[in-house]
Structure 1
């Protein structure tokens, strides 16, 4: 990220004004819910700085008047980010700028610290300071606009749950959350989706080992975990860290891929059973996490996603990965004791 590039992002008055006119398109709503959405969107945006997320750390500090984010890694940070379709790079920084009273950004790079302070969208101070440290680091301080979000403070527990979820969806990422001197939590889940499943539900009712698969395609990274459970409690799908509560084509592709893979293997093994979407949902916990470089939605605003191309990719990946797994572990179905339909 060059200084000129950053200035272009933060000082695009026309684009920032467009964001301010349509907050629902960028943060879903105003008030505390909108502020929480903005926080989650910012964390997910900051992940783009990492070459490998499992080497990265994001420290978040909450106070009554400001929120700070500090990004660091054991590896160099990725400062050059390309425009995706019509969306400019670092969109989340423009959104922060649009809904802030003040934004401060500090960049440590090549033994130099560059600091920008903006007040109501206007650059008020710029500093260049020599530093001895060689580690690259980025810090963002955000003073929310109370006319947009109100004066009530964010719930620490709500933010904690969001940070925990992001850490679970990004194996090895460290997120440190603090609230002044009162509370402090570190989230680190090296097993990713497996950690998510077992943190969210009691594993005592499970049968057979979970199936954990991941595959990178040209369109998306598809990761999923399945676990047989006679009382399923965890059935979640995420796209770029966002949970569309009403599902969408990615969810439909997942179910169709699962059902097709199970039924093909049951037929090959001469089981007199078949699996439907309903019977699968009645017997299995699962988590599906998809990462796509060109999302056709804005984070935290959609309750249902529609993307025909993504449906086909997810269905194919899930079917292929389960098919290969069953070929390597033919006894898994016996251990799992799928009820299915006679």
Structure 2
């Protein structure tokens, strides 16, 4: 097991080839019922197309092979995305004889992609093949194996073979696509929507630089946060005079077989009722689930135990409620699992019971340790919570 205050450094794994692609079925069903695959044919589904491509680049970062992603809203309204990872595999695969990249772009599949140090990948849907199927035009350019490779598609169908071009020492993948106007209600991407999500991903993946450029008006932005979730909490807590304590609390851990990891950052303030954001495999879990339940359970227990141990609560006092403990608390919890299970078609509630158990274990151990090593800040936090509980009449 590896633990640190600034977790999330993955183990680099170099193997990534045609054998990693598992075929499910063809793409006709995607064009017939796109909402089943990307949620809707409105703005939400349109932007999900970008997130699906970005998730592949994030996986390269998680595997230790990429540290930069460049996203561009092109002048023609399409999207162009480039990463500096290994590049999608180009070798032919049996028994079809198709190149691995063509299979990735035309077969409805869950490509396990690069195996990360956690045994997880960021994408939660069906990948590049869905984006290809729903685009009137898609081109892929790969720098791998000493050459530049290119191929073009139209509505999911290859219109050129995979072509080996000039030699190069570069590495990475560039995908450009234009959403099909016959499928989507709108094909105009929102700069603000994309920027918000990419900024979020930069927080969740410390050390990964993500840039966004809009060629419609020229307005580039670059997100890069070495401190990860600590920087995220600082972003959500923009008023230093209102902070109950500083620094913020941050910790993380991963299990022994690296199939489950958790990162946590939190800080109390006096200016807001509090804000809690949770993520599973880089996707916002708006409806919460097992990881949120584990966090809230452990948080309430640790705060009550510490307050009694330090004499800020007597044996006769009632326990501080979960509501009081979370008053004014800004927190971000991010878990990554090898086999996430989500409830509902929106996939916004995590169901894995092991996430509840592991998050509880990590929070109990690390939060208790932080409070013990920061007695002045801990005293201020407990005083704030007791005051909040008295004001709400719940203690």
- Aligned equivalent of 1:221: 261
Q: Where in structure 2 are the equivalents of 1:100-179 lying within 5 Å?
A: 100-125=135-160, 126-132=162-168, 134-179=169-214
The separation in 2 between residues aligned to 1:299 and 1:72, in whole angstroms, is 35
Partners of 1:78 and 1:49 in 2: how far apart? 10
| Count of residue pairs brought into register by the alignment | 332
Q: Distance in 2 between matches of 1:212 and 1:54?
A: 26
Q: Is the 8 A contact 1:58 1:69 kept in 2?
A: yes
Give the distance between the partners of 1:13 and 1:284, measured in 2 at CA: 44
Q: In 2, distance between residues paired with 1:286 and 1:206?
A: 13
Which secondary structure does the structure 2 equivalent of 1:250 belong to? Answer: helix
Measured in 2, the distance between the counterparts of 1:168 and 1:338 equals 27
TM-score (norm 2): 0.75
Question: SS of the counterpart of 1:97?
Answer: helix
Which structure has greater helix proportion?
Answer: 1
- Residue 221 of structure 2 aligns to a residue whose secondary structure is strand
Q: CA deviation at 1:261?
A: 1.5
Residue 338 of structure 1 aligns to a residue whose secondary structure is helix
Match of 1:250 among 286, 291, 316: 291
| 1:99 shift after superposition | 1.5
SS at match of 1:270: coil
Q: Deviations over 1:250-305 (max 9, x none)?
A: 21111001111112222322331643210122131111111222222499932333
Q: Find out whether 1:205 has 2:242 as its counterpart.
A: yes
Q: Is the 8 A contact 1:27 1:300 kept in 2?
A: no
Q: How has the CA–CA distance of structure 1 residues 299 and 58 changed in structure 2, closer, same or farther, with 3 Å as cutoff?
A: farther
Q: Structure 1 stretch 48-57 or stretch 182-191: which is displaced more? A: 48-57
Match of 1:187 among 223, 232, 247: 223
Q: 2:51 aligns with which of 3, 28, 40?
A: 40
Structure 2 CA distance for partners of 1:280 and 1:44, relative to 1, 3 Å:
farther
The equivalent of 2:385 in structure 1 is 339
Residue 24 of structure 1 pairs with residue 35 of structure 2: yes
Deviations 1:157-196, CA, capped at 9 Å, x for gaps? 1111111111111111111111115211111111111221
- 2:94 aligns to what? none
> Structure 1 residue 54: deviation in Å?
9.6
Query: Which of 56, 59, 69 lines up with 2:67 in the alignment?
Result: 56
Query: 3-state DSSP class of the match of 1:107?
Result: strand
The alpha carbon displacement at 1:34 in A equals 0.4
Other structure's SS at 2:158 match? strand
254-263 or 242-251, larger mean C-alpha shift: 242-251
Query: Take 2:186 and 2:300, find their aligned partners in 1: how far apart are those partners?
Result: 49
Q: Give the stretch that moved more between structures: 250-259 or 49-58.
A: 49-58
Counterparts of 1:296 and 1:16, CA distance in 2:
24
Distance 1:298-1:24 versus aligned 2 partners, 3 A rule: farther
User: In 1, distance between residues paired with 2:324 and 2:84?
Assistant: 45
